[in-house]
Each structure stands twice: as structure tokens, then as C-alpha cells.
């Protein structure tokens, strides 16, 4: 016999729990169930933000907040006017979870533990009688005239309203495609660049505080901190490129050249400063007179790459060495040969085509009473808590739409 629930949420992740709790709170009379394929839910929340869960980002103006979404920028503007950062903070605070802001704007639970968020969700789900059915993998979705029929690994379920919150799951995308939805082909977003280069080989851990990076042959450009890693480069300047360039860089098969301006100044200005240094520091070795607040070890590598030896003094270097150093500082080229996973956060670009979702309700334009929230839709963001904010916003609006319908 089929199991009937008024409202079913497929996927017990960030968006799934947030939707279920908000729906159940407003509809104590309705049966609300989450079908989760894993033996536990919220697994991404658990590992998120290096185990601390970067819940959201301290950006309180909707038009600024949307600029962090390479896919979804236009569509999320309206939804953020309904539910965004301040609402997220209040939602958690009202349920006993205090969030704090870090220097770079990322927001975490004060406990510094993602378990706090998980405990909050499990507690709230229980309090509002959300049934969480683990080890229930949804195999097929039949959208009938007035309800849905779901075949799962543990029997058939029926419901009036269905919410898909399955994250980046290819099997569910396939099922949605069979139901008539267009799926934008998924590609990875938020990754680091693999670079084998003498200049950075021996200096992992070094951070240049504010650089500009361009992907040559494209319009992609970003600014921010840059971290040298064991295999290449990371940190916001790189991660932003990986997000905004997710599709373009996939087409290049992750093989391309970047140009780094380590000091965010133009060539002429830099050259004139270095010419002045030739007078000012004439007797000092170039390697040991770090400029532009660059980390010493990085400065040294850029100097050596400019054909200047460890012992050469400013007075000894010629015009072409000076020009070479200027180029290294303002337009150093590196060959990217692949990508690596950024362990703190990664997402998939792609998913249900944004044109097929009504962003006032997060309901499918193709199938009435079917709602979508979180990463299942073609929205993704740069690193910093924005991906979860998309999940909270979509899930909240789904709950409001269901309350109104
Ligand atoms: C390592 C890592 C760290 C991250 N850190 C951050 C961070 O700090 N801040 C941030 O903003 N974002 C972070 N993200 C991104 C963020 O985790 C996702 O954007 C977010 O989890 C998406 O929520 P969701 O509910 O859409 O999907 P998910 O959280 O992925 O949940 C989907 C759920 O659906 C279930 N499911 C899938 N298919 C089926 C099926 N057929 N039947 C039943 N259940 C199914 C899955 O098991 C899963 O539990 C991180 C991602 C990773 C991988």
C-alpha cells in the first residue's frame, strides 16, 4: 500500500530541512516528511566551512548580495528582498543559535561547529513533527493530475505537494528531465588552479594580500587575496575566477594561462618606483629589499625570475632586469594545467534551468505543486556562505508559497 503525506521533501540537506521545518511550523495539521537517501542527512552541512559551517555572509543589501552569484544573480534579487542575511541571522537566533561575523564577512555559529546547525535542525524538525525518513532513495517521480507518486527504495509514497531539494544529484536531474524540465549541464565550480612553476614551487602557504588575476584570452578577471598552495594557487582571487568562469574554464579543459598583477599597479608606475629604488637602495641586495608589502619569499622568487641573482645589488641591475622585475610584479604569467578541489567549499554550476522556475514562489513553471530549492536549480555562488544563503532563501520562500496556497 502507498504511504500518503500531504507534503514531501526529497533530500535531507540544507534546503530540505529548512523548507520542512518552516512548512511544518506553519502547518501543524499537515503531514510533512523528508525522504533522504543517506543513513544520515545534512552531510554537507557537517563538512561545510571546514567543519564550522559558513552559514551566510554579512552582506545586507540585496543588490550587492546577488553580485556573488555567477548563476542566479538576476533571479535572486526578488527572493532576497523577502528573505536574506538578516532574516537568516534572526531565524537561527530565534532558535538559540547565535552567529558571528569574521573579518572577511563570513558568518559562522559562535560555537565554531557545524554540529550546532545540525542539532538545531534536528531539534526543530522533531519539535514540529517533521518525519525524517532515512535510507529512502527516490527512484522515480510520477506527476499525476492532482498529486505525485514517488517510488523509493522503501516503497511507494504519495503526496499533494512535492519539494525537490536534492542538491547536485544527476539521477534527480534525469528524473526532472523526464518530467519535461530543461537541465543545464553541470560543471564544477569553486576549485583551485593547478600550476607547476618554479616561482611558486617552494613557497606553499605564502599569501599575497590583494592581487588582480586575469584569464588570458577571456574577459575573466578577479581581485582579492591569493594563496600559493602545494599544487598551485587558491584563495578568493582564484576561487572567484573558478566560479564566474566555471563554464568557460571547463570548455578550455582547465588548460589556460593567467596573468597576475601582484601589486595592482600599472607597469609604468611600478617601473618608476623601482628606478627610484635603484638610487635609494643602491648598495642593498635586491632580494633583501622587499617592496610593495609583498611577502618576502614571494618577492625573492619574482626577483630571481627576473634574471637577478641573490647577491646582486640595486646599483648592479640593468634596464632589462628592472623591466623584467616590473613585468613579474604587474603581469606575471602562469600556465594552469588543471584544477583541484577546494576542501572548504565546493559546488556545481548547472541544474534546473532558471527560466522554468517562478522565483516568487520557487514553484516549477512546468509542473504545478512541484517546488525546487537549493543547489538542484542552476544557482551557485562564490565562496563565503552565499551557497547556503541560496538554500535558506529558496526553502523559506517555498514554505511561504505553500502556506499561501
Ligand atoms: C566540502 C563542502 C563545504 C561547503 N561549505 C560551504 C559553506 O561553508 N558555506 C556555504 O554557503 N556553502 C558551502 N558548501 C556548499 C553547500 O554545502 C551547498 O550549496 C548546500 O549544501 C546545498 O544545499 P542543498 O540542500 O541544495 O543540497 P545538499 O545539502 O547537497 O542536500 C541534498 C540532499 O539530498 C539527498 N538526495 C539526493 N538524491 C536523493 C534521492 N534520490 N533520494 C533521496 N535523497 C536524495 C542527498 O543525500 C542530500 O542529503 C560546501 C560544499 C561542500 C561540498
pLDDT, one tens digit per residue, over 262-287 is: 999 999 999 999 999 999 999 999 99
pLDDT attached to residue 1:
83
pLDDT < 50: residue spans in the chain = none
- Alpha-carbon distance of 61 to 346, in angstroms, equals 24
Question: Does an H or E element contain 269, and which?
Answer: helix 267-280
Parallel, antiparallel, or unpaired for β 357-358 and 221-228? unpaired
pLDDT attached to residue 29:
95
Parallel, antiparallel, or unpaired for β 207-215 and 221-228? antiparallel
pTM to 2 decimal places: 0.95
Residues in contact with ligand 1 by the CB-under-6-Å rule are 10-16, 35-38, 41, 43-44, 47-49, 53-54, 137-138, 165-167, 169, 171-172, 344-347, 374-376, 385-388, 391
11 Cα: distance to centroid of ligand 1 (angstroms) = 9
251 Cα: distance to centroid of ligand 1 (angstroms) = 25
pLDDT attached to residue 405:
84
pLDDT attached to residue 404:
86
pLDDT attached to residue 265:
97
Using the Cα atoms of residue 308, residue 310, residue 311 and residue 313 in order, give the sign of their dihedral: positive
Ligand 1 atom showing the smallest separation from residue 380 Cα:
19
167 Cα: distance to centroid of ligand 1 (angstroms) = 5
Ligand 1 atom showing the smallest separation from residue 373 Cα:
26
Ligand 1 atom showing the smallest separation from residue 136 Cα:
43
311 Cα: distance to centroid of ligand 1 (angstroms) = 53
369 Cα: distance to centroid of ligand 1 (angstroms) = 23
pLDDT attached to residue 228:
98
Residue 209, CA distances (Å) to 64, 247, 252, 264, 318 in order: 22, 27, 28, 11, 29
Amino acid at each position: 500500500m502507498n504511504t500518503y503525506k500531504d507534503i514531501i521533501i526529497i533530500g535531507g540537506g540544507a534546503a530540505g530541512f529548512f523548507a520542512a521545518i518552516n512548512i511544518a511550523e506553519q502547518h501543524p495539521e499537515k503531514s510533512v516528511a523528508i525522504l533522504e537517501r543517506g543513513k544520515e542527512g545534512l552531510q554537507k552541512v557537517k563538512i561545510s566551512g571546514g567543519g564550522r559551517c559558513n552559514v551566510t555572509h554579512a552582506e545586507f543589501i540585496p543588490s550587492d548580495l546577488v553580485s556573488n552569484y555567477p548563476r542566479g544573480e538576476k533571479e535572486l534579487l526578488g527572493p532576497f528582498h523577502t528573505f536574506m542575511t538578516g532574516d537568516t541571522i534572526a531565524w537561527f537566533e530565534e532558535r538559540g543559535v547565535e552567529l558571528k561575523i569574521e573579518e572577511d564577512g563570513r558568518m559562522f555559529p559562535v560555537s565554531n561547529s557545524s554540529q550546532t546547525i545540525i542539532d538545531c535542525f534536528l531539534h526543530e524538525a522533531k519539535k514540529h513533527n517533521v518525519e525524517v525518513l532515512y535510507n529512502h532513495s527516490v527512484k522515480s517521480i510520477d506527476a499525476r493530475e492532482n498529486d505525485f507518486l514517488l517510488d523509493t527504495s522503501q516503497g511507494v509514497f504519495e503526496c499533494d505537494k512535492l519539494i525537490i531539494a536534492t542538491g547536485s544529484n544527476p539521477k534527480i536531474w534525469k528524473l526532472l528531465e523526464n518530467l519535461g524540465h530543461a537541465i543545464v549541464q553541470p560543471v564544477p565550480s569553486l576549485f583551485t588552479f593547478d600550476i607547476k612553476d618554479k616561482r611558486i614551487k617552494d613557497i606553499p602557504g605564502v599569501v599575497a594580500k590583494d592581487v588582480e588575476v586575469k584569464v588570458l584570452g577571456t574577459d575573466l578577471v578577479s581581485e582579492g587575496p591569493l594563496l600559493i598552495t602545494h599544487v598551485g594557487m587558491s584563495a578568493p582571487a582564484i576561487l572567484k575566477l573558478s566560479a564566474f568562469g566555471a563554464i568557460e574554464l571547463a570548455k578550455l579543459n582547465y588548460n589556460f594561462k593567467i596573468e597576475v598583477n601582484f601589486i595592482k599597479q600599472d607597469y609604468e608606475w611600478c617601473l618608476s618606483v623601482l628606478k627610484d629604488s635603484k638610487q635609494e637602495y643602491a648598495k642593498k641586495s635586491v632580494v633583501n629589499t622587499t617592496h610593495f608589502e609583498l611577502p618576502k619569499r614571494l618577492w625573492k622568487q619574482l626577483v630571481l625570475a627576473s634574471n637577478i641573482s641573490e647577491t646582486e645589488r640595486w646599483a648592479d641591475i640593468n634596464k632589462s632586469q628592472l623591466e623584467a622585475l616590473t613585468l613579474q610584479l604587474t603581469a606575471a604569467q602562469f600556465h594552469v594545467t588543471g584544477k583541484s578541489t577546494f576542501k572548504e567549499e565546493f559546488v556545481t554550476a548547472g541544474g534546473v534551468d532558471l527560466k522554468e522556475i517562478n522565483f516568487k514562489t520557487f514553484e516549477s513553471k512546468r509542473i504545478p505543486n512541484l517546488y525546487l530549492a537549493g543547489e538542484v536549480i542552476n544557482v551557485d555562488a562564490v565562496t563565503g556562505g552565499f551557497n547556503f544563503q541560496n538554500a535558506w532563501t529558496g526553502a523559506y520562500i517555498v514554505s511561504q508559497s505553500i502556506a499561501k496556497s
